[in-house]
Amino acid sequence: MDQGHCLRSRAGLATLGPADHANHRCRAGQNRHFLVPHHDAVIGNSIKNLGVWAEDDLEFFARHINEGDTILDIGANIGHHTVYFSKAVGRTGQVISFEPQLAIFRYASANAVVNGYDNVTILQGCLGDAEGQERMAPVSYDEQTNFGALGVSIGDDERGELVPTWALDALLERGTVQVTKIDFVKIDVQSFELFVLRGAYKTLKTYKPKIFLEISPNWMKEREYDYTEVYELLREVGYGFSHFREGAGLMDGVRQWSGNKLEEWDVFCEPIVSGGTIR
């Protein structure tokens, strides 16, 4: 890989910024240990104070992940879900994670190591629909911020970090990422979801993994596409949809946006098999 960084197994720890240590005990009683950025106002703060981040998601994942699975964590942040996935799939499974922010990638790498998991590969970079580079939105890691909300910059602001970008299809075709199957994909990339899916079109048709992704209509509109395009692309490659947190009404399997700029939701996507049923 020409650009970016990669942690494979226990390849060592990169230099971290100011960090806090947190113990994570989920409802199942499984212990985890995390290093979190000192100024992380949301994910890190939740782990420090509650011992967990997005536990409802974890309980949902547990119903759809099995030992031996191969999982992609696209938008891994500090690796909280990566660590959970690693434990869930066991030694016969593997987790491949992507995190564009170099500083946050270092935490994800450290958290995989301190929890003793050697079935994890973490790549520092952004997945999209083309090879190249993307500019992240500017951020100061010395100020209290929601680092998990940082995405690829919208507009012409050039103050942010420049990160390598790959299409998943290309990574697999040239063997940079090696898999024999893909069972589950989590995508949380701050309205960049459509570009990730475009760059993974062949992969989705070939492996037909279950997909859990975030829809943020207002921010997708800011990126000059309509959130329904995500549904349309997935329908093209043979997926049906269910909504993890029901709220607004559904139309043809697509949740309707109320127009509230803050409204976001998660979608669980499964391949449709013969007869029109979801696998």
> Rounded to a whole number, what is the distance in angstroms from the first to the last CA of the chain?
35
pLDDT digits (tens, 9 = 90+) for 93-134: 999 999 999 999 999 999 999 888 889 999 999 999 999 998
Q: What is the DSSP pairing of strand 120-124 with strand 94-99?
A: parallel
What is the model's pTM? Answer: 0.85
What's the confidence (pLDDT) of residue 164? 94
pLDDT digits (tens, 9 = 90+) for 54-82: 788 888 999 999 999 999 999 999 999 99
- CB neighbour list of residue 176: distance below 8 Å, 6 or more residues apart: 1, 166
CA distance readout (Å), 80 to 119, 125, 244: 15, 17, 20
From 268, 262, 241, select the one nearest 253 (Cα to Cα).
241
Q: Where are the beta strands (DSSP E) in 38-115?
A: 70-74, 94-99
Question: For residue 228, is pLDDT > 90?
Answer: yes
What's the confidence (pLDDT) of residue 183? 98
Question: What domains appear along the chain, each with residue ranges and CATH number?
Answer: 6-12+19-271 (3.40.50.150)
pLDDT digits (tens, 9 = 90+) for 165-220: 999 999 999 999 999 999 999 999 989 899 999 999 999 999 999 999 999 999 89
161 vs 19, higher pLDDT: 161
- CB neighbour list of residue 233: distance below 8 Å, 6 or more residues apart: 194, 197, 198, 201
